[in-house]
Structures are given as structure tokens and as C-alpha cells.
Structure 1
Amino acid sequence: MRLLAAVDLGEGLESVVESTRFLQEGLGIPAELLHVVPTPYFEALGRRFPHLRPGLEEALSQVEKEVQKTLADTGLRARVLRGFPAQVVAGEALKSRLVLLGQRGTDALEALARGGLARYLLHRGEVPVLLLPRALKAVRRIAVGLDDSPASLSAFRVAEAWGRALGAEVFGLHLVSGQGGCCFPTYLDPEGLALTEVLAQAKAHLEQLLKATGVVEVSKGDEELDLLRLAKAREADLLVLGSKAKSTWRHRLGRMVEVLSSQSSMPLLVVPEATVW
């Protein structure tokens, strides 16, 4: 099994390549760069206008050669395939332990295409996905967004494995909204406890689930971005979230993953519930 870095040739290429090199060495898992030339449109043109087919095929072949050369120059193993990018990457992801995706480009079309690919992979929920708004060059502290779900606990176990491999500290972060809020933990009584008691009991509850002490911080927070702000305040280099790849019909990934996968300014690792690292 490998680390699979799905790359385009936009401004995020160098960040993904740098992150891939770092994780290949740190995790001790071979990595591969993959670029998918989006050919369905050109194939349809060739069927509609047969006289254009030879020129289109020649152009696509030249593109493949140029891209292959660019990726080979990185020193990493690389492949260039043809097809519909989301489907090809998803198929290759099944043969991988992790998929890395860049999230740095600001061009509207580039952002739309990459966002669609990320959401497609996250909704399938078959392999961990690392979203990279910037390069991941060193990891000293790994923050894990926690609740008491199996998906969250799986994410913490994966983070622990990464921490051992990378020599990083791993800690959990848990948000509790104000009394009566939508995110008040179901295992606590909002009527009988003051906020300080809520935070203390939530911490004890989660550390009991994790079978670890001193690794969870519980804080008041009402919005998904509060978790990102807390992770930054604690100087985390990487934020990890668990995902069931389902919640409600409109929010299949859960609100935390949905919001942070599109708005996080720090590397975000999304771990499906069934993942074992």
C-alpha cells in the first residue's frame, strides 16, 4: 500500500510534493504522484467531429509526456492517467493508505474542480484524506477533534500512530456549546451542572474512552471554526477529524468535516470510521 498524492499543475503542486516527501520518509510508506488528464470532453469531441480526432489525440499525448516529465523531475514515483479525475483517483485510492490533495489555488475553476474531488473522496469514506492548504514539512503537535463517537476514536488512534512515527505529541480537543445549545453533550445534564463542571466531566468522560489521561482539552465553543482557532492557539501542525461519511441527507459528512474541509487554513486529515493504521 502507498501514499497517493493526486496533483494538478496549479500553484499548489509544490506544496503537495513537499508534503508527500515528508510523509514518505516520516511514515516509512512509499509514495506516488498521480495526475489525471481529464479526457472525456476531448473524447466526446472526437466522436462528434471525427476529423478532429487525430489532432486531439496528438495534443493529449504531448500533454501526457510533458506532465510525466514535470512529475519525474520531483524525484518521486509518478504516473499520468486519462479519464474523469474523481473516478480515477477514487479507484486508485482503494489501493492506497492515504490520499493527499492540495487546497491552495485561488483560480475559480481550479478551486471548483479540486473541491469536487475532495468532497467526492470524503463522501465515499474509503480512505483517509489529507487536505493541504499549505505544505506539511514538520509535525510536532497533532490535534484531534473529539466527541464520543466511534469515528472520533478511530481518528485519535490513527493520530497516535502518526505521532509515534513522526515523533509528534498527540492531544484531543473537544468543544462544548453554551447550556442548552445544540452541541451540549448528551451524556451530561445541562440543568444540574455549571459550565466548569461540564468541562471537567466531559474531559473525564473522553479520557476514559481513550484510556488515556492528560491528553484532552475541553473548551467552550459554539462554531465549527472555534475548533480550528483552538488548534492554532495550541500550536498544532495538523488537525485530525473522524468521519462516518454520513450524518443527515443534507450534511452527509457532518458539519465539522464539511466546514473545516473547505475553510481550514491548516493541514486537515479526515479519517473514516473503519480506518486501522
Structure 2
Amino acid sequence: MSLGDEGQTRTRLPDAGGDVYGGARRGGRSSSRGLVTVVGVVVLLIAAIAFANRGGGDSSSAGQSSGKPGSSATAASGTKPVQSKTTGIPAGFAHDQQGAQSAAANYAVALGSADMFDKTRRDAILQAVITPSRLADFQSTLDQAYTPAFNKNVGLNADGSTPSGYTFVSRTSPVGTKVTASTANDATVEVWCSGLLGLAGTNSTTPVTNSWFTITMKLQWAGDDWKVVTQSQKAGPTPVPGDDKASTADDMAKAVNEYGGFTYAR
């Protein structure tokens, strides 16, 4: 229907179709869609909730900024990404603010990955990114968070494995970073992220959804690298949802398996 110049509005009728992905559109208002979104946010927040305000972190420092960042706040610096990895996670960041931002971005990716739902892989991730003095607390807290009941709530089996015929998606993509406080050996970094979460499959009741959030990490220079001391998370900033037609379950699963992640460098 074409629109005139006298204030007409266009009404979009809901699409029909059996594939939960095929007819869905972003920003759907059904109660089930809203529930899926809430579940997605919960999973992406779970690590942050466990980490927040622990270890004597200075919560006030996160809000202290030297001023509004310019348009080049996260522009490429020309510094090459790190060349080494620990447990598959980038390591060996520069001992400066740029290095802290790169570390925070890469750690956000690791802590928001599907590997966090597997006890063995989760412990390896924590070993690689958490400061030694806080490691035991992180492991204990997350062991209590990633329970069989929680796994079932996000569509996984009780042991955290993916049901046969489905592809589990949990991926965090940093959009930008900024330092809000820093000293020679400490830095507080905010990472603005977009996240994907859900179970890709034709009959999935928890399809892959998108969310936006900002992670605040307090980092400490330890063992010749930046390590996480505390982490917190808040929702947004969130853009207005587009009118893009959601992909099919097969296309989503294929994309997740074929498109790898990045090593982030400031």
C-alpha cells in the first residue's frame, strides 16, 4: 500500500508459516517472543550478576569520566592485535589503556560464549581471564549459577549439552569500548555489546534473539597481562529494532557454525 501525504499509516499483518524463524520479525510483541527476549537477557547477564560488586571493587570509579568521548574514541589505533592466546583466548595485551580496552573486549566475548555452559571449558576460560586472587570466588559463584535447571530454561540438556538436531548460540560482539578510570596497574573499561542467544532448530521454543548491553570490567595488571577483578552489566544502549525478516533455523545454525569470531584490538 502506498502512503500519501496526509498522515496515513501502514498496518503490517502478521506473517504465516510454521518455521519459528521464517515468519518472525524483529521487535515482535507477542508474549512468547517477549519471554524469549527476557530469557536471553538473563543468560547474558548471569555472569555479570555473579561478578558485580565483589572483591572490594570501587563502584564509583565506573561512573567517573574525563569527559564525553569523541567520535574517534574507539577508532583504530594502528596497534596490531595480540599474537598469543591462552586456552584459545587472546592474551599478552599492552600495558596501557589501549591494551586494557582490547583485553576487556576479548574477555567479554569469552565470558559470553557458549563454552561457559560447560564446566570444564568454563573453568579454563576463568583461569585465563580472571585475576588469581579472585579465581576461586568466580568459579564457585558460577558453579552455583549454571545449574541443570538453568540449562533447561535456555533449551539445553540438564548437563549443559545441546539437544540433538539443534545448534546452541551464545555469542557476544563488542561494538565499542571506553576507559572510565585508570592508573598504572588498574583500569575500568566499559564495553558496549550486542549479544545473540538461543537454540537454532526448526521446532525450537527458544529461538535465537538479539540483545544490547554494556559491560563494565575492572581490570588489574597481573602476571604480565590484564585480568578481570570485577564485572557488572546493564541493559543498552539499544537501537530501534529494524524490520528485517528473521532467517530460517537452518540459515542461523549454518551462520553460527561457519562464521568465526574476531580478536579485538583498540
| TM-score of the alignment, normalized to the shorter chain, above 0.5 | no
Higher helix share: 1
Larger Rg: 1
Q: Which TM-score applies when normalising by structure 1? A: 0.22
Q: Which TM-score applies when normalising by structure 2? A: 0.23
